[in-house]
Amino acid sequence: MTVRPASSRRWLALLPIVGAVALAAWWSATAAAAQELPPAPEVTAPPKGVLLTEYGPLAETDREFLVRVRLAGLWEVPAGQMAAEKGSTEQIRQIGEWIRDEHIELDEACRETAAALGVQLPNEPSAEHQLLLNEMAAAEGEEFDRLFIQYLREAHGIIYPIIAYVRAGTQNDLMREFAEVGEGYVRNHLTYLESSGLVDWNHIKPAPEPLGTQSRFLAAEPAGVHPVVIYGLLAVAAVSGGVQMIRTLRPQ
């Protein structure tokens, strides 16, 4: 019977480990390739609802955001004026003045941005907002304070995430600048209103749950191969190689 040289037996014992290392290298290369960003689609025409302007594409979401900010000013300026006049405490009156004055500034920026982008804005508050104004006008004392703080806090809580959505996704330079301006004002107003201590948090919409979708910028797992499988193969190969090495080198 032919006996293989000891050196050949050693190489045979190392084959499982070499194979496992090669498999791990292949998996690492595949995972790295999966992180490469897909090529940007070729754009031949703007998507439906998108208008081309000198400041970049203007999406329907951008236009709707300008309308929302304008509508906010149309009822929150008079609401702030009411609070400045009939708030039952100096703090409420001061908050009313701040919100009134800052919404006037924000409304001016909104109208300038809309004019530059050719977006038509409303000139009257919505029917829903007018009902809120009527309710506050009929209230007095602490009841007015409570309504003013709660209604405006709820309204600002709705528009705040919309600002972030527009700022993150708009392709229009002017809209991006306006969203940043609006975010500063709305953040201030949230702080003013909450400082009153009158916010009923049971009526404030809770923060959304994480969406749970994986970003395309994160490392992706290669299709059909899970890391647990790779680690398992490496462990089996290491044990198998070690046993084979012992058997090969053990005196016969």
Where in the chain are the domains? Answer: 51-203
Q: Residue 42 corresponds to which tokens in the numbers above?
A: 């070729």
Q: pLDDT tens-digit profile of 96-128? A: 999 999 999 999 999 999 999 999 999 999 999
Percentage of the chain surpassing pLDDT 90? 59
Query: Distance (Å, rounded) from C-alpha 69 to C-alpha 76?
Result: 10
HEC profile of the chain: CCCCCHHHHHHHHHHHHHHHHHHHHHHHHHHHHHCCCCCCCCCCCCCCCCEEECCEEECHHHHHHHHHHHHHHHHHHHHHHHHHHHCCCHHHHHHHHHHHHHHHHHHHHHHHHHHHHCCCCCCCCCHHHHHHHHHHHHCCHHHHHHHHHHHHHHHHHHHHHHHHHHHHHCCCHHHHHHHHHHHHHHHHHHHHHHHCCCCCHHHCCCCCCCCCCCCCCCCCCCCCCCHHHHHHHHHHHHHHHHHHHHHHHCCC
What's the pLDDT band for 166 if we cut at 50, 70, 90? very high
What's the pLDDT band for 7 if we cut at 50, 70, 90? low
The average pLDDT across 163-171 equals 94
pLDDT: is 239 or 54 the higher one?
Answer: 54
Res. 136: pLDDT tops 90 = yes
Query: Distance (Å, rounded) from C-alpha 249 to C-alpha 246?
Result: 5
What's the pLDDT band for 221 if we cut at 50, 70, 90? very low
User: Which CATH architecture is the domain 51-203 placed in?
Assistant: Up-down Bundle (1.20)
Q: Phi first, then psi: what are they for 173, rounded to 5°?
A: -60, -40
Query: Distance (Å, rounded) from C-alpha 155 to C-alpha 204?
Result: 10
Instruction: Name the region of 4 (left: φ>0; alpha: ψ -120 to 50; beta: rest).
Output: beta
The average pLDDT across 179-192 equals 97
Q: pLDDT tens-digit profile of 26-35? A: 656 665 555 5
Res. 249: pLDDT tops 60 = no
**Which of these, 179, 174, 172, lies nearest to 57 by C-alpha position?**
172
CA-derived radius of gyration, the chain: 32
Looking at residue 65, its pLDDT comes to 96
Looking at residue 176, its pLDDT comes to 97
Query: Distance (Å, rounded) from C-alpha 140 to C-alpha 146?
Result: 10
Which residues partner with 57 through β-bridges? 52
Looking at residue 113, its pLDDT comes to 97
pLDDT, averaged across the chain:
81
Res. 171: pLDDT tops 70 = yes
Query: Distance (Å, rounded) from C-alpha 23 to C-alpha 234?
Result: 9
What's the pLDDT band for 53 if we cut at 50, 70, 90? confident
Q: pLDDT tens-digit profile of 56-97? A: 999 999 999 999 999 999 999 999 999 999 999 999 999 999
Res. 147: pLDDT tops 80 = yes
